[in-house]
Structure 1
Amino acid sequence: MQNIQNFIAGQWISGDGPGQPLMHAITGEQFATVSSKGLDFQGMFDFARDKGNKSLRKMTFQERALMLKALALYLMDRKEKYYEVSYKTGATRVDSWVDIEGGIGNLFANASLRRKLPNQPFCIDGEYAPLSKEGSFIGQHILVPKLGVALHINAFNFPVWGMLEKVAVNLLAGMPAIVKPAAITSYLTEVVFRDIIESGLLPAGALQLVTGSAHNLIDFVNEQDVVTFTGSADTGRLLKRHENIIEHAVPFNMEADSLNCCILGSDAVFGTPEFDLFIKEVKREVTTKAGQKCTAIRRIIVPENMVEDVSYHLTEALSQVMIGDTKHKNVRMGALVGKGQVEEVKGKVVQLLKDSELVYGLDELILVGDNTQNGSFMGPVLLRATNTEADSRVHDIEAFGPVSTIIGYKDIDHAIELANRGKGSLVSSIVTYDDAIATQYTLGAAPYHGRIMVLNRDCAKESTGHGSPMPLLTHGGPGRAGGGEEMGGLRGIKHYMQRCAVQGSPTTLTEITQVYQPGGKYKDPGKHPFRLHFEELTVGDTLITHKRTITETDIINFANVSWDHFYAHTDITSLDGTIFTERVAHGYFVLSAAAGLFVDPGKGPVLLNYGLEECRFLKPVYAGMTIGVKLTVKEKIDQEKKTDDDIAKGIVKYYVDIYDELDEKVAVATILTMVKKIDN
């Protein structure tokens, strides 16, 4: 009998006692036990803070991101053994793909964020704030890794994705984690976790694992820790009220199961591509993972005059789904995770039937496969609401399985009202080819939903579907859904970092942030900065150029070359009533003229101009005015070599300050250059 272990302070440890039995969802046979009884939870937190946190905090974003990328590649090479273990959860190959490769995909996606982050252990957050008249006192927000531990309490339905989508973010932010999967499917989490540890890619203490019961884990968190929870709303609310969470004001990110809904637009009648897409999408969400998804469609909201059509076609679609042993090539729906889950879901159906009627399901199952007699199977159940008012159970009770209820609506405002009666959900979707309907629904339903997907024939081929949250978008929702956010690209890392407002002189804040702050003192690089390699440049290095007087001929010639004949540049008889007093130079000519002043023409370390950011034209430039440029190294972003033959390089951002003969700014911009390193 297999014993699922915990990973504590660098050691694999079994809990005390006989442990909780773990059953094969397809065959019903016990194959393992799991226990976390007797573990030193305080020691876990101490180890994470003393070892993992200190190591991760010293790493830069680039180093952490490349660590995630390497880990993703390592796990992807070993994915097939995860599929074999996932079979025990009752999942089909497609179900497991979402969990396993979807989870690994989170590592890749978060690793890609390194292109937007500095080669520093911290980053700035937003633009600087001028706090004084003369500009000698400013403020800037920075984000630094917290000094604690991320405690992840995950649900049973995605034992791989649930772990990886969270740890990818906290590791990128520079914070260690203790992972607590649901015991019932912890055996799959453990297999992946063992490979993570065996890879040797993470520093000691970066990740620890508790596979058995959580016991009193939350008793050990403090004000520098972060707790994330995924699971039932009732359990989440109970944990959120824990006295230790309240006493230490511990950030608690909650992602709870919710009554997600899918709306059929009134234009999407039978015979349209959208109607077919709707039936296909609902069928997929009812049957994928046997309905055990926090994002699954629980309420099917359709026009009242289409309830019969939808009922008929959904019944037909669901009746064709083959259920049973997921290793059989024709099976498209597997088992629930355990018999206890089956009984719980059926109990919720009984409650739902008090405000609805049965359309399809609850019949004796015909299962595919010879070893399914003792499995945890339940067929799809389709209900139709007989009561849709605010007090209806269809807006309050969630059966966490293959169960969904059809609800009729009168008009789009009524559909919005019904969708919002779920009191907050992770996701809603609407299937329509009418953009006016899509707009009205989105703006009306957005306050109650964390994500809204609009599906139609134009995006169907590449759509990731109603139930698939994306790593670079937030995953969470208001109200019943928990009020939290996960993932979300750069937004996600902020949950594990402390935002601190730093005030001081521009020069001091430049040194602290390693991003040039306007008004800071200039540094003399000793030669033209375009003659210096990436490593030789320092934030604050500045070139002050010679000057150039703009002429009318310059303006007319640029109009002819660019074909930009806007009246203010070419027709001085049309200036009455405008903000211009005479012929004005094109903004892009001013920028081009500035480039002519600061560019060093000879071949050197600068490989190319990589882009332009934050360009602003602040003051009209007329013929006869003289401009100069102060070109300052604003920020440096390292880049890794993609191949051995690749040129070693980094991105240098320059702050371009264009000023006139009165020393007043006429334009500012940030240009990006790709610069070679010395070591190639």
Structure 2
Amino acid sequence: MQQLNSYLSGRWVYGQGESREIYHAASGEPLFQVCSEGLPLADSLDYARKLGGKALAGMTFQQRAQMMKAVAKYLLVHKEALYQISYQTGATRNDSWVDIEGGIATLFSYAGLAGRELPDDTLWPEDELIPLSKQSQFAARHVLTSRPGVALHINAFNFPCWGMLEKLAPTWLAGMPAIIKPATATAQLTHAMVKLITDSGLVPEGAIQLICGGVGNIFDHLDYQDVVTFTGSAQTGQKLRAHPRLLEKSIPFTMEADSLNCCVLGQDVTPEMPEFSLFIKEVSREMTSKSGQKCTAIRRIIVPAARVEEVQQALLQRFASVKIGDPQREEVRMGPLVSQEQRDDVQQKVDFLLQNGCEPLCGAAWQQMALIDDNVQQGAFYPITLLYCADPFNHQAVHGTEAFGPVATLMPYQDSEQAIELALLGQGSLAGSLVTADEALATRFIRATACAHGRLLVLDRHAAIESTGHGSPLPLLVHGGPGRAGGGEELGGLRAVKHYMQRTAIQASPSMLAAIGGEWVRGANVVEEQVHPFRKYFEQLQIGESLLTARRTITEADIVNFACLSGDHFYAHMDKIGAAESLFGERVAHGYFIVSAAAGLFVDPGVGPVIANYGMENLRFIEPVKIGDTIQVRLTCKKKIRKPQKTAEDRPHGVVVWDVQVFNQHQQAVALYSILTLVARQEADFGVAE
């Protein structure tokens, strides 16, 4: 039998001790042996810190993003090999697509986020300047820096690719190396993906390591700069969270546990409405995709008492068409559970529910199920199981016992308050859904139940056109939940990156803060030169380089002409009597005219390195500009973000963020904002520089 090696300290190694076996989920045949006993797990931590950690921390956010994008492209090229291995875990092609390509898409997503929003630097200024004194010469900023530690990721069996990559993306982007500990039952798929990554040569040595088997005593060697994340059962997670070393060193620990997620049918929905069909489809899909082995799967189906029989019949009719068997067969829609051990656990939980207030509507015993394949009778198959709990308020087992397979329980409610109460009885969930066309009902439900959920989907006929569904965590949205769901957060865009970084408040003068943060801030020293900054290439521009423009006096003709050009005849600009009674006391210039006039003062009109205006941010009008006032502008280079060339034909460029301050004759700020420009680079990534 083949040994599944760990990848530690740059080598593929196997332990010396009792091995565990991994079995084919559909056929039951033994596939791999796994053992990590006796391996130098503590040494792998030092290896990661000294090699992978230093290399990643030395890269800018933009460089890390490009690395991740390259890895994602490489994995896509080799994805078919991963699909073949994924069948061994019981996953159908559709199931594997979510795991494999969904995970790769998360890498792309985080690379894109970094490219748009993070600096081309190793330090991340998180907020704008915070003044701490009257003269504004003492201020503060919060900055984020890479932790010189290791992220230990302990993952669940149900998503061996996505579960790794959704943690790895923000970890790498934060500049931390990772040690991956997959669940043994599906470790062969994680192993295959890690080997692809290491073989690619695209990541620094020590940036990723893999433990196939147990974690041994690695927790005893963690330090305060390290981070631990866990996905799995609440019982195991609570045990790990209480490890003495984590408590002693205050090591961050993020936990995502399985939860009793609910889907609620609104009282307004009738069988004739599109929302009813959407509800049936959503529940059925969540019960059968990945054979119900999803931490976000629907476990509690909460419906109006008057609709119980109609929902039951519709679900049973849909389940009858689901073909169960060998996941490699095209017509099969649901494969086996991951292992016979998991099947036995599901059966035990179903039996417990049947003894505590539930009755079976279909399924409930794996020995009696029918398969479309004779050659997979030894597989870990379990039937689609729909239970019914007539009194969910008195039978609490249905709100606390999860059968981690294609199992859910139907339960009735009498009014919206009961529906809310049932949703909250889950004691914290990763995801919940409400299917309704009633906006008032949705508002009441969400406001009452959001406190117990990490994510909530409100589904109606309009959202359904593009909805990603109840059970799909998305890179830009938080994945996690309170209480039983573990109390942690993953994903959520750049929120996840911050989990692996250290936030520090820096107090200093504005000039010192600008130097430390690599970004100019208001109040810091500026650099003024004879050459207009718009005449300079990206590489030639200095942070803090500034232009103080000529002045312009605003006339009545300016206001009238802009009103005619724009069509904006608001009374504060055009009605002398109305303006006199306003808070301004007289007519004032349009705010957007001031912005336009400011551009006229600072823009260099000739052809040069500035390619285009890329956008405007944080515009604020501070003081009104009246007829006869004189404005002047200070334009300052705030930060620069180098953009890589995608092809040799693309013009090399970067994004320059300019701070714009518009003053009146009294040196009062009348408008403050930032503009972004695309500025050509002299140095090309491909071929000869221009």
One of 403, 409, 423 as aligned partner of 2:407:
403
Structure 2 residue 679 is the aligned partner of structure 1 residue 678: no
Distance across 2 between alignment mates of 1:263 and 1:525: 65
Match of 2:510 among 499, 506, 510: 506
In the other structure, the counterpart of 1:71 is 71
**Cα deviation, residue 215, structure 1:** 2.2
Q: Which residue of structure 2 aligns with residue 360 of structure 1?
A: 362
Asked whether 1:380 is paired with 2:384, we answer yes
**1:426, distance to aligned residue in structure 2 (A):** 0.3
CA-to-aligned-CA distance 1:593-629 (integer Å, 9 cap, x gap): 1111101111110011111101111001001111101
Matches within 5 A, 1:230-269: 230-269=231-270
**Aligned-partner Cα distance in 2 for 1:433–1:217:** 52
2:474 counterpart SS class: coil
Indicate conservation of the 8 Å contact 1:584/1:622, yes or no.
yes
- Structure 2 counterpart SS, 1:192: helix
Name the structure 1 match of 2:156: 155
What is the match of residue 444 of structure 1?
Answer: 448
What is the alpha-carbon distance in structure 2 between the residues aligned to residue 519 and residue 149 of structure 1? 38
1:460 aligns with 2:460: no
Deviations 1:277-320 (A, max 9, x none): 11111111111111110000000011111011111111111122
User: C-alpha displacement at 1:390, in angstroms?
Assistant: 6.4
Structure 1 distance, partners of 2:648, 2:394, is: 63
What's the TM-score, normalizing by structure 1? Answer: 0.99
Q: 1:651 aligns with which of 650, 655, 659?
A: 655
Unmatched tracts of structure 2, length 5 or more? 684-689
Aligned to 1:99: 99
Residue number in structure 1 paired with 2:346: 345
CA distance in 2, matches of 1:390, 1:270: 29
Cα separation, partners in 2 of 1:390 and 1:604, compared to 1, 3 Å? farther
Please state how far the C-alpha of 1:553 moved relative to its aligned partner. Answer: 1.1
Q: Could you tell me whether the CA contact under 8 Å between 1:150 and 1:175 is conserved in 2?
A: yes
**Amino acid aligned to 2:89:** T
1:291 aligns to 2:313 (yes or no): no
How much does 1:586 deviate?
0.5
Q: What is the identity, as a one-letter code, of the residue corresponding to 2:103?
A: G
* 1:179 counterpart SS class: strand
Q: Distance in 2 between matches of 1:355 and 1:554?
A: 78
2:491 maps to amino acid: M
Q: Does 1:81 align with 2:81?
A: yes
Match of 1:642 in 2: 646
Amino acid of the residue matched to residue 52 of structure 2? G
Pick aligned residue for 2:582 from 568, 578, 581: 578
Q: Which residue of 2 aligns with 1:630?
A: 634
Do residues 47 (structure 1) and 47 (structure 2) align? Answer: yes
**Aligned equivalent of 2:528:** 524
Match of 1:605, as an amino acid?
Answer: P
The aligned amino acid for 1:634 is K
Tell me which amino acid in the other structure corresponds to 2:17: G
Whichever residue aligns with residue 253 of structure 1, its letter is: T
How far 1:427 sits from its partner (Å)? 0.2
% same residue: 52
Deviation at 1:5, TM superposition (A): 0.4
Between stretches 46-55 and 350-359, larger displacement belongs to 350-359
Pick aligned residue for 1:485 from 489, 494, 514: 489
Unaligned residue ranges in structure 1 (runs of 5+): none
Deviations 1:634-656 (A, max 9, x none): 11111111211000001111100
Q: Deviations over 1:562-584 (max 9, x none)?
A: 11000010001113442112110
Counterpart of 1:359 in 2: which secondary structure? strand
- Give the stretch that moved more between structures: 298-307 or 410-419: 410-419
Q: SS at the partner of 2:7?
A: strand
After TM superposition, give the deviation of residue 329 of structure 1 in Å.
2.2
C-alpha contact 2:573 2:579 (8 A) present in aligned 1 = no
Task: Say if 1:404 and 1:216 are closer, same or farther in 2 by CA, change over 3 A.
Answer: same
1:598 aligned partner, one-letter code: F
Q: Distance in 2 between matches of 1:526 and 1:80?
A: 59
Q: CA deviation at 1:217?
A: 2.2
Aligned to 2:147: 146
Contact 1:522 1:540 in 2 (8 A): yes
Name the SS of the counterpart of 1:268 in structure 2: coil
Between 514-523 and 385-394, report the one with greater CA deviation. Answer: 385-394
Residue 25 of structure 2: aligned partner = 25
Q: What is the alpha-carbon distance in structure 2 between the residues aligned to residue 325 and residue 657 of structure 1?
A: 66
Query: What is the alpha-carbon distance in structure 2 between the residues aligned to residue 379 and residue 624 of structure 1?
Result: 81
CA contact (8 A) 1:525 1:537 kept: no
Aligned to 1:558: 562
1:351-404 C-alpha deviation (Å, 9 max, x unpaired): 112121111113511112232111101001101113312661111111111110
Q: Could you tell me how far 1:127 is from its partner in structure 2?
A: 2.0
Q: Is 2:498 aligned against 1:497?
A: no
- Picking from 478, 490, 499, the partner of 1:474 is 478
- Where does 1:150-189 land on structure 2 (aligned, <5 Å)? 150-189=151-190
Report the CA distance between 1:540 and its aligned residue.
0.5
Match of residue 546 from structure 1: 550
Quote the Cα distance in structure 1 between the aligned partners of 2:446 and 2:221.
42
Amino acid at match of 1:17: G
Alignment of 1:295-374 (within 5 A): 295-353=296-354, 354-362=356-364, 364-374=368-378
Query: Contact conserved, 1:608 with 1:674, CA < 8 A, in 2?
Result: yes
Give the equivalent residue in structure 1 for 2:202: 201
> Deviations for 1:403-438, whole angstroms, at most 9, x for unmatched residues?
100111122222111111101000001111222222
Whether contact under 8 Å (1:324, 1:331) holds in the other structure is yes
The reply on whether 1:34 has 2:34 as its aligned counterpart is yes
Contact residue 180 and residue 214 of structure 1 kept, 8 A: yes
Q: What is the match of residue 618 of structure 1?
A: 622
3-state SS, counterpart of residue 656 of structure 2: strand
Q: For residue 421 of structure 1, what is the aligned residue in structure 2?
A: 425
In 1: Cα distance, 2:678 partner to 2:425 partner: 53
Which whole-Å CA distance do the structure 1 matches of 2:65 and 2:417 have between them?
45
Look up the equivalent residue of 1:47 and give its one-letter code. Y
Q: Which amino acid aligns with 1:618?
A: I
Partner of 1:185, secondary structure, is: helix
SS at match of 2:3: strand
Aligned to 1:16: 16
Runs (4+) off by over 4 Å: none
Q: Tell me the alpha carbon deviations over residues 47-73 of structure 1, each in whole angstroms, 9 at most, x when there is no partner.
A: 011111100000001100010110001
Residue pair 2:580, 2:587 contacting (<8 A) in 1 also: no
Residues of 1 paired with 2:140 and 2:490: CA distance?
28
Contact 2:357 2:391 in 1 (8 A): yes
| 8 Å CA contact retained: 1:18, 1:33 | no
C-alpha contact 2:62 2:119 (8 A) present in aligned 1: yes
Q: Which residue of 1 aligns with 2:193?
A: 192
Partner Cα distance (1:159, 1:584) in 2: 62
What is the rounded CA distance, in whole Å, between the counterparts of 2:465 and 2:34 in structure 1?
43
Q: Distance in 1 between matches of 2:402 and 2:225?
A: 34
The number of equivalent residue pairs is 680
Asked if residue 432 in structure 1 is aligned to residue 436 in structure 2, the reply is yes
CA contact (8 A) 1:328 1:369 kept: no
1:103–1:164 CA contact under 8 A, matched in 2: yes
Deviations 1:3-26 (A, max 9, x none): 000000000001113410111110
